[in-house]
Chains A and B, each alone.
Chain A
Amino acid sequence: DGGITQSPKYLFRKEGQNVTLSCEQNLNHDAMYWYRQDPGQGLRLIYYSQIVNDFQKGDIAEGYSVSREKKESFPLTVTSAQKNPTAFYLCASSMPLTGQNEKLFFGSGTQLSVL
């Protein structure tokens, strides 16, 4: 089945540690996104990529980094510079088509907690 796979489901980070969240899609979508969701709140855009080897900062990029070496993969690294990383992280993808309505497809999320 086509979809977006995020791993792990739960992740714990120690002080000063970098951690990487995985996001893989087999939908052949060009665009991929990372969002952060804090309890009881909506989603905030961290980074997005519309094509391989290119990505842009979203609204809250500080303390995060990404790469887009393959179309299928868009890993997110939460660096030690992110002082409040505890949140639910969501990866999404879409297929931008000129003149067409573009829908977002989401993974099932990764819950990151600080030890």
Chain B
Amino acid sequence: DAKTTQPPSMDCAEGRAANLPCNHSTISGNEYVYWYRQIHSQGPQYIIHGLKNNETNEMASLIITEDRKSSTLILPHATLRDTAVYYCIVRVATNAGKSTFGDGTTLTVKP
């Protein structure tokens, strides 16, 4: 699976959009980008995934660059409950258990 690089921490004001970047310059053509988040002392929660098109669901939007070497997770109106560690994972569609959860980005939403 491709390696990902994320900033260790970010801050965001409550009500503003949170944009979390992820670099995955060695991504292969059949690898997807997945995002999970982990609120303190809980298990990670799936957010969204994509291959090459931008994706949106009730939780977030995922923007993948045309060359697929980087992506951005967007939380459109961040709330205090969005404070968590966000993991960007790149892997093939199957073998979910082989997902590599690195150190992620700690997002702190401030009032």
Could you list which residues of chain A lie within 8 angstroms of chain B, going by C-beta atoms?
4, 31, 33, 35, 40-43, 45, 48, 58, 88, 90-92, 94, 96, 98-109, 111
By a CB distance below 8 angstroms, the chain A residues around B103 are 40-42
Cβ-based interface call for B54 (8 A): no
The 10 listed contacts between A and B (C-beta, < 8 Å) are A31-B97, A40-B103, A42-B100, A42-B102, A45-B98, A94-B96, A102-B93, A108-B43, A109-B41, A109-B42
- Complex alpha-carbon distance, A106 and B39, angstroms: 12
What does the 1/0 interface line of B82-110 toward A look like (CB < 8 Å)?
Answer: 00000100000111111111111000000
Interface of B is mostly: loop
**With A43-B44, A108-B43 given, is the CB distance from A100 to B93 under 8 Å?**
yes
**In the assembled complex, which residues on chain A have CB atoms less than 8 Å from the CB atom of B96?**
31, 94, 96, 102-104
> Which residues of A have CB within 8 Å of B100?
42
Q: Digit string of B60-102 for contact with A (CB within 8 Å is 1, else 0)?
A: 0000000000000000000000000001000001111111111
Bound complex: CA A96 to CA B91 (Å)? 14
- Answer yes or no: B25 CB below 8 A from chain A CBs: no
- State how many residues of chain B have any CB contact under 8 Å with chain A: 23
B interface with A by C-beta (< 8 Å): 32, 34, 36, 41-46, 49, 87, 93-104
State the CA gap A40–B46 with chains docked (Å): 19
- Bound CA span A35–B104, Å: 16
Q: Which residues of A contact B98 (CB under 8 A)?
A: 45
User: In the assembly, what is the distance between CA of A57 and CA of B101, in Å?
Assistant: 17
CB distance from B28 to the nearest CB of A (A): 16
Report yes or no: A109 in contact with B97, Cβ–Cβ below 8 A: no
Contact B94 A102 (CB under 8 A): yes
15 other A-B residue contacts (CB within 8 Å) besides A35-B101, A106-B43, A108-B42: A31-B97, A40-B103, A42-B100, A92-B97, A94-B96, A96-B94, A100-B94, A101-B49, A101-B93, A102-B94, A103-B49, A104-B36, A104-B99, A106-B45, A109-B42
